[in-house]
Amino acid sequence: MKTTQKKLRALKTFAAKGLVLTLALLIAAPTPAFAASRIKDIVDFEGVRDNLLVGYGLVVGLNGTGDSLEDGHFTKQSLQAMLNRLGVRPTDAGLDSDNVAAVMVTASLPPFARQGSRVDVTVSSMGDSDSLLGGTLLVTPLLGADGEVYAVAQGNLAVGGFQTQGDAETVTKGVPTSGRIASGAIVEREVAFDMGNMTSVKLTLRNPDFTTARRIAQAVNAFLGTQAAAPSDPTTVRVTVPTSYTNNVVNLLTDIEQLRIEPDQLARVVIDEQTGTIVMGENVRISTVAIAQGSLTIRITETPQVSQPGPFAEVGTTTTVDRTNIEVDQGEDKRLSVLQSGVTLQELVNGLNSLGIGPRDMITILQAIKTAGALQAEIEVM
């Protein structure tokens, strides 16, 4: 009997410890952040940005798919100028190659790119070249918006598409007149920006919103323990560098960008009428409204028939007789559906689907609900 009681007490003690351990694990386990996002994913930091570069160059080594060097053609002029710089003086009659193409070269200079680092470039034909497959880009300076040279590009093109043709058929895959050169440009000039000595930093929201801007400022202030951040508008949050981060703005931004907040957005319905695509945010709400969707469809089918006299008839001719079949659908099978006030996005979709409504009809209905003042959201047509 005593042994049984000891076993029961041991089981109770083990169960209690297991319950405490389970609760501790539940408390320690990370809870879902309710769509919380890192600040680094919803803002851009001042000074941390790309710079666009562009240049004009020549691609050589094409297998007869280059530009046609007609009189006055810019490719011919560019080729002649390049050869003149290299000490070659060709005649106009000698420039008859179809292995050269004029191209535009574009690249994006990353923030804080240093001299000697490499960036990818995109090469696109601007003449009547059929394909850049197998071509080599010659030295091409890449200019910034200020007209200065920031990088120089050169290398073999990687073209994903191709084109082949015969006398009666042409096969084209992808875009053979555009290609890329991985690490094809060398940075020659740096974009000057001193981040270390900044006394304040601006955070720019990618989706401007008053509530989101204030939440970011509150999260930053709670982390720093001081009122260092304040939203100046729905797009910008200004953060004053605390004394503990003086001359160490990089560490400040590193700590701030990992903070999590829940972004807030306007209730918006985005419509693409060309493809019939509808995207609705979770905050879209509908006031009480009744919806009936029906359409008048008239289908006319012409089936001409041949009428001819019977065999051995003395009179009569063979002729064509029109036969017309008209069908009218007034949508009597469509029903009236009532959507109650404050329905959610899921209930709205279910209600419209219950009427058998397709995406394109749904676009018209949403616009009509907005006109009636029952759609509590902004409609944006792409």
pLDDT of amino acid 292: 64
pLDDT above 80 (res 362): no
Structure tokens at 64: 């007869």
CA distance 144 to 194: 19
Binned at pLDDT 50, 70 and 90, residue 291 comes out as low
pLDDT of amino acid 29: 41
Which is more confidently placed, 143 or 86? 143
Binned at pLDDT 50, 70 and 90, residue 346 comes out as low
168 CB-near residues (< 8 Å, 6+ apart): none
Task: Report, as an integer, the average pLDDT of 362-377.
Answer: 79
Contact, 188 vs 149, CB < 8 A?
Answer: yes
Structure tokens at 351: 């209600």
pLDDT of amino acid 213: 94
Binned at pLDDT 50, 70 and 90, residue 8 comes out as very low
Binned at pLDDT 50, 70 and 90, residue 19 comes out as very low
3-state helix, strand, coil in the chain (%, to 5): 25, 35, 45
Task: Report, as an integer, the average pLDDT of 157-168.
Answer: 75
The sign of the torsion formed by the CA atoms of 52, 56, 58, 63 equals positive
pLDDT above 50 (res 22): no
Task: Report, as an integer, the average pLDDT of 197-224.
Answer: 93
The sign of the torsion formed by the CA atoms of 340, 341, 347, 353 equals positive
Structure tokens at 380: 């944006």
Which is more confidently placed, 304 or 109? 109
Contact, 132 vs 159, CB < 8 A?
Answer: yes
Contact, 140 vs 126, CB < 8 A?
Answer: no
pLDDT above 60 (res 339): no
Task: Report, as an integer, the average pLDDT of 204-223.
Answer: 94
pLDDT of amino acid 264: 87
Binned at pLDDT 50, 70 and 90, residue 306 comes out as confident
Tell me which of 11-20, 257-266, 277-286 is least confident: 11-20
Give me the residue spans of the domains in the chain.
51-164+171-187, 200-261, 269-299+323-381
- Give the mean pLDDT of the chain: 79
Binned at pLDDT 50, 70 and 90, residue 58 comes out as very high
CA distance 219 to 224: 9
pLDDT of amino acid 304: 73
Residue 376: its H or E element: strand 375-376
Binned at pLDDT 50, 70 and 90, residue 165 comes out as low
Binned at pLDDT 50, 70 and 90, residue 334 comes out as low
Task: Report, as an integer, the average pLDDT of 194-218.
Answer: 91
pLDDT of amino acid 39: 94
Q: How far apart are the first and last CA of the chain?
A: 81
pLDDT above 60 (res 24): no
Task: Report, as an integer, the average pLDDT of 356-365.
Answer: 74
Task: Report, as an integer, the average pLDDT of 200-211.
Answer: 93
pLDDT above 50 (res 234): yes
Q: Identify the three-state secondary structure at position 350.
A: helix
pLDDT above 70 (res 191): yes
* Closest CA relative to residue 52, chosen from 213, 225, 185: 185
CA distance 292 to 294: 7
